[in-house]
Amino acid sequence: MASAPPPRLFLTGFSGAGKSAVAPLVAQALGRTVVDTDQLIEQSASRPISEIFTRDGEARFRELERDALRRAVQENSAVVVAVGGGAMLSAENRRAMAAAGLIVCLEARPATILERLRRGDVPVEERPLLAGSDPLPKIVELKSRRQKYFALADYVIDTDGSTPQQVADEVIAAVRASDPWFAQHPDRLLLPEERAGAGAEKPVWVNAPSRRYPVHVGWGALDRLGELLRDQGLSGAAWIVSDSEVLPRHGDRALLSLREAGFAADAFAITAGEASKNLEVAGTVYDWLVSKRAERGHAVVALGGGVVGDLSGFVAATYLRGLPFVQAPTSFLAMVDASIGGKVAVDHRSGKNLIGAYYQPWLVVEDVSLLKSLPRRMLAEGCAEAIKHALIRDPQLLDDMEARADDLLHLEPAVTVDIVRRNVAIKAAVVSEDERDTGMRAILNYGHTAGHAIEAAGGYTQVLHGASDAIGMTAAAEIGRRMGVTPERVVERQRAVLERYGLPTRAPRGIDPRRVLDAIALDKKVAKGSVRWVLLEDIGRPVLRSDVPPELVREVVESILP
């Protein structure tokens, strides 16, 4: 039986992202025709788009755009539809596209967009929304306001540094994959608040003894960064610390939000990766803050994943004896775990996070839409921490993560916001009860004892953090099984859910078991010479054990190393 043809394709994105150049290449490869909604609008109105804006206004243009999109949807499925970026702002338009096919958003940095527009057929100054002597700030502002809508697309493809053919090849690969999940979810492009019965999300509060602070979780929350800092009583200046991968993607949006809220703001990027989380790199951040004349009361904003959050928090805790600290995590792993709880640190060559402090942030701002820019492997590894929370604290969350795995891995907005928020609530509750790891908070280390040791033995480059935690949970479950603590059904269920999310249960080749065992002996959770292991008596029933025989640890470590 012949397979169904790939679905109708909609290409969207900001002007200059590459739709006009890429659409014909994709159409030719797929044997389709190109439909451009801007051309349909001009044909319908019998005048150019710039004139429509001038004579009739943007509202009239949006009406014509909606009608043009409706006509494009009615075309046969053998089309590639180039759609103006503004069409994504309408829930009606997004619902129509989602029901009719696959939506791919082409992304580019503002400077790249301006360069491409200047090479185009229509002068930049004749584009209605960009007219003026300096279009770049307008591109930054307009693109930032649309970003949470662009992130709803089924696929987001970065076009910076790529040729039109390279981008087209990525689009073609996405279309040919023909994932049936998309056809089964016609409302997948709706914001959580656009769904029936959805109410405004309230923040989750962390009630730690040293500070009470809110965690805001939502789709597009980064656009409220400045407002939320101001609501927490912060003012003056805000200094963003990010990394070389995150800052080019999200820095403009964060800076715009801060400046619109009245903050003086600038940003500094470290080299992305765990190798940057050390005292030497912290020194470069100190130097930058000195050059900016950072003062007490100025905020340090961590925009990035766990490495950026840990390093920035360490700097904030120690510069001028402590600056207000704000977490704006951009990875799944940081959202559900590292950004909450105030653990800030840098690594030492002998182990992970050996130099650090407890320093709670003033607030945490989690924009779930940013996850759309992550590689799939980083999303999957971030799910390891969410699975851990479910295993140690919330059987219902584990049930839901098993049932909604496809939705979460596709970043369906409502499901993703819900799962992230429930994980935040778990972490917040544990931290509120035990801020400094003197009791209950130790259960959050399930899988970390072996996982962090594997990460250290691999030089923090061979195994991603979430992947190492998944392997560490496998080791902990096996230790629990052999000690008669963890039932076989729990061991098997854990293995199944990890594998369902594409997470490893064995370490890659090349990890020396002796280095892993040495790192376990140096673990921060060692007390009176004994390693404290978190084991599971059942789902939601963790227990601390300090009586695990070293020989058993060695046997299990060797069993998870190929």
Task: Supply the angle between the helices 395-403 and 488-500 in degrees, to the nearest 10.
Answer: 40
Give me the percent of the chain exceeding a pLDDT of 90.
Answer: 80
Mean of the per-residue pLDDT values for the chain?
93
Residue 529 pLDDT exceeds 70: no
How far, in Å, CA of 438 to CA of 417, rounded? 31
- pLDDT for the residue 195: 85
Give the per-residue pLDDT at 197.
Answer: 65
| DSSP 3-state of 178 | coil
Q: Coil, strand, or helix at residue 455?
A: helix
Q: What CA–CA distance (Å, rounded) separates 396 from 393?
A: 9
Distance between CA 128 and CA 131 in Å, rounded? Answer: 6
Question: Which DSSP category does 374 fall into?
Answer: S
Q: Is 127 helix (H, G, I), strand (E, B) or coil?
A: coil
- Is residue 134 within 8 A of residue 171, CB to CB? The reply is no
Report the pLDDT averaged over residues 276-304. 97
Q: Over the stretch 43-66, which tens digit does the pLDDT of each residue have?
A: 999 999 889 988 999 999 999 999
pLDDT score at 524 = 55
Query: Poorest-confidence range of 334-343, 393-402, 414-423, 432-441?
Result: 432-441
Coil, strand or helix: which one is 544? strand
Please tell me the predicted confidence (pLDDT) of residue 3.
47
Identify the weakest region by mean pLDDT among 68-72, 176-180, 218-222, 407-411: 176-180
CA dist., res. 161 & res. 107, Å (int): 11
The band of 528, judged by pLDDT with boundaries at 50, 70 and 90, is low
Chain-centroid distance of CA 21 in Å reads: 29
Label the pairing between strands 541-545 and 155-158: unpaired
Q: Give pLDDT, residue 353.
A: 85
* Range 154-190 burial, b when 16+ CB lie within 10 A, else e: bbbbbbeebebeebbbbbbebbeeeeeebeebebbbb
> Looking at the predicted structure, is the pLDDT value of residue 6 above 90?
no
Q: Give the pLDDT confidence of 132-176 residue by residue, as tens digits.
A: 778 999 999 999 999 999 999 999 999 999 999 999 999 999 998
121-135, 256-270, 371-385: least confident range: 121-135
Q: Residues 74-100: pLDDT tens digits? A: 877 789 999 999 999 999 999 999 999
Torsion sign over Cα 430, 434, 439, 442:
positive
The CA-atom distances, in angstroms, between 262 and each of 167, 255, 297, 418 are: 38, 11, 15, 31
pTM score of the predicted model: 0.92
Alpha helices (H) in 31-90, listed in sequence order: 37-45, 49-56, 58-74
* CB neighbour burial string for 510-547, b if at least 16 within 10 angstroms, e if fewer: ebebeebbebbebbbbeeeeebbbbbbeebebbeebee
Question: Picking from 95-109, 258-272, 373-387, which range would have the lowest pLDDT averaged per residue?
Answer: 373-387
- To the nearest 10°, report the CA torsion of 375, 380, 382, 386: 150
| pLDDT tens-digit readout, 175-223 | 988 789 999 999 999 999 998 766 667 999 999 999 999 999 999 999 9
